[in-house]
Structure 1
Amino acid sequence: MPDPDLILITKLAETHRRLGELYGLPVWQPHGDPTAQLVATILSQNTSDVNTARSFRALVDVYPDWQAVVDAPEQELIEVIRSGGLANQKAPRIQSALRHIYEERGDFDLHWLADLPVAEARVWLTQMPGVGNKTASIVLLFALGRPAFPVDTHVGRVCRRLGLAPTKASADKVMAIIETFAPDDWFYPLHKNFIQHGRTTCKARKPRCQGCVLRNICDSFR
């Protein structure tokens, strides 16, 4: 009987190869500012990249440092980041997260997380309200260069349809599967290319299956 783990690893490797040929292999270049990444990722929840960038720029233009963000009246911060959407929810989440960091560490620096095992760093980050595994993994992967695999709606959808994860697997389950079976240096290009593929081909409502480079290895292709 075929080994299911070997089948999954083989499919994952072929998926990585084909998407790399189609979209290229993005270079993993961590930018090194985990606190800024945390704030930006909270701002990115349920909005577009354009709105995220606009609201983050507005925030850093108004406030000279993270302490000023914490000290700002909540309603003022809401107005500053309103362009990002859901500002009434995101403003208190941002202030709560920053307060938590300061209360635990005495400053706003999160670089020390790079020295922890990924699982421990993720647990520490997800203690903060509004910070789940996806947000924590984005901070670790994009800012600190740690091998964590963020799963958004596009990533989860593509993985489930391909059969890399069960059809009803949660985002956390998809994350665990990829982190178990993919090499660390695949996490960044897989994450970026799954998102690109989900946006352009494996769309939620009308997937473009006939033109998909993965159709003959996809469990959902008919």
Structure 2
Amino acid sequence: MRMDTKSQALVLWVFNQLHLFYGGKKQKREKDQIGILVRTILSQNTNDKNRDRAYCALLKRFPSWESLAQAGTKEIESAIKSGGLAKQKAKRIKELLKRIKKEQGKISLSFLSKMSPEQAKGYLLGFKGIGEKTASVLLLFGFGMELFPVDTHILRISKRLGILPEKVSAKIAHKILAEIVPGTIAYELHLNLIEHGRKICSARKPNCPLCPLKLRCQFYNSYESEGCKEGK
């Protein structure tokens, strides 16, 4: 895919504006890589509050990943019911842990650190229920790999800014943004865009007057945002 220099320039401008508005983010690598993966699976098709509630209930019920892998699917489903799609997620989590244990002899993903980002992502995408976002989140936060996960906030904001086409899918969005987001800014940009989506550029009634990106935002400068321009 050919790099779009105009879009990359806009991405860098967005990064700088959000850096000034929300501050810098020093990259921290989480130690529990299995935990990141399980938590990200629980986040699928739900909000952060429900995800966190389900994850806390899971940790309370199962003191180790080994005990979770050995548990029955129904028991796992019961523990994570607050997160939604419990039957589907319980099955995926159990299958994931069992396969890792079978292949590696233990429930650990440390072996991914020896792979390139693309190799590691390719391995993870081989699991049912793990897509581009889940794989990228794990590798960015668990291994410090320079990948850029695209969640619903980032997808929405990127479309409003005109960085992404309006009807592009999340899967294609990952490919496009992988070409134009420099790896060195991926961590901070990911976090600041999510914060921006939660606080200002919400799906409904975005607070456009307060937005530090409105100067170059297609949505703000179109008829669609007349209400938010007036603070309605």
Counterpart of 2:229 in structure 1 is none
Please report how far the alpha carbon of residue 83 of structure 1 lies from its aligned counterpart in structure 2 after TM superposition: 2.5
Distance 1:83 1:169 in 2: 30
Please report how far the alpha carbon of residue 81 of structure 1 lies from its aligned counterpart in structure 2 after TM superposition: 1.8
Please report how far the alpha carbon of residue 48 of structure 1 lies from its aligned counterpart in structure 2 after TM superposition: 2.7
Q: Is residue 141–residue 147 contact of structure 1 (8 Å, CA) maintained in 2?
A: yes
3-state SS of paired residue (1:68):
helix
Q: Within the alignment, does 1:98 sit opposite 2:97 as a pair? A: yes
Please report how far the alpha carbon of residue 117 of structure 1 lies from its aligned counterpart in structure 2 after TM superposition: 1.4
Query: Aligned residues, how many?
Result: 220
TM-score normalized with structure 2 length:
0.88
Please report how far the alpha carbon of residue 86 of structure 1 lies from its aligned counterpart in structure 2 after TM superposition: 2.3
Please report how far the alpha carbon of residue 54 of structure 1 lies from its aligned counterpart in structure 2 after TM superposition: 2.5
**Letter paired with 1:157:** R
**Letter paired with 2:213:** L
Counterpart of 1:25 in structure 2 is 24
TM-score normalized with structure 1 length:
0.91
Distance 1:175 1:123 in 2: 14
Distance 2:58 2:201 in 1: 34
Show structure 1 runs of 4+ deviating over 6 A.
none
Q: Within the alignment, does 1:140 sit opposite 2:157 as a pair? A: no
3-state SS of paired residue (1:167):
coil
Please report how far the alpha carbon of residue 8 of structure 1 lies from its aligned counterpart in structure 2 after TM superposition: 1.4
**Letter paired with 1:148:** L
Q: Is residue 159–residue 174 contact of structure 1 (8 Å, CA) maintained in 2?
A: no
Counterpart of 1:114 in structure 2 is 113
Q: Compare 86-95 and 173-182 and name the one that shifted more.
A: 173-182
**Letter paired with 2:17:** R
Q: Is residue 132–residue 171 contact of structure 2 (8 Å, CA) maintained in 1?
A: yes
Deviations 1:170-197 (A, max 9, x none): 2222222322222212111111111111
Distance 1:64 1:211 in 2: 44
**Letter paired with 1:203:** S
Q: Within the alignment, does 1:15 sit opposite 2:21 as a pair? A: no
Q: Is residue 154–residue 195 contact of structure 1 (8 Å, CA) maintained in 2?
A: yes
Distance 2:208 2:8 in 1: 22
The gaps in structure 1 that reach 5 residues or longer are none
Q: Is residue 149–residue 187 contact of structure 1 (8 Å, CA) maintained in 2?
A: yes
Q: Is residue 148–residue 190 contact of structure 2 (8 Å, CA) maintained in 1?
A: yes
Q: CA RMSD in A?
A: 1.8
Q: Within the alignment, does 1:50 sit opposite 2:49 as a pair? A: yes
Please report how far the alpha carbon of residue 14 of structure 1 lies from its aligned counterpart in structure 2 after TM superposition: 0.8
The gaps in structure 2 that reach 5 residues or longer are 222-232
**Letter paired with 1:173:** I
